[in-house]
A and B are shown apart, each in its own frame.
Chain A
């Protein structure tokens, strides 16, 4: 029964992907390419590329894509449902605990330390994204001068607009996308 197989595979992916994002790629590959041959390795590489180009978590993107390829739209619904089911159960339980006990001074103290860690993690993600945007790869290249000038200008302009006028990030992103297309069409860069 293909629907049950999809459901079970993506439940496993949902449970096992802790840390999110790129940590889940090998897990998805193990289920979708190695265990079930639902996608070839080339198709899998395609879906990871597309996942980076589209909004939303990679696991949800993969679930939708695999589901459609294997069993049409119902397959996509089942796979996506499987993917989020573990999160829903676990996170709602944690949410209940958080709102029940966050007033306790011990919990308060632990949370105040976790806030520091969260800021550190977001800072690390921000640096990775800056490198990706400037150089098109996740690793800093040896030649720092090979920076993409359009990206650098858009980054600086967005940063100033966000800090100074507190413009909604969604508008900043839309304008940046449009600006990049305009620069490409006019100057060919």
Chain B
């Protein structure tokens, strides 16, 4: 599944015992696709001697800080951005 800029997505809330680049504080949180970077070798297999293929599409996803941190005391407009691979994203209506 490919996502487009502006689409709402949720970061999968799943455990993953091995190396992965998805920060725990974003799992289960919803954000918006800000940019489609490109496709890159998958670090989750490359970390174990694999070739990282097939390549995975990497997205820049933006989140409201208030949605990420309970009791966030900053400005309402504050955003946090993270690069997230496609297989960690779930589409939302």
On whether the two chains bind one another, the answer is no
Residues of B within 8 A of A (CB): none
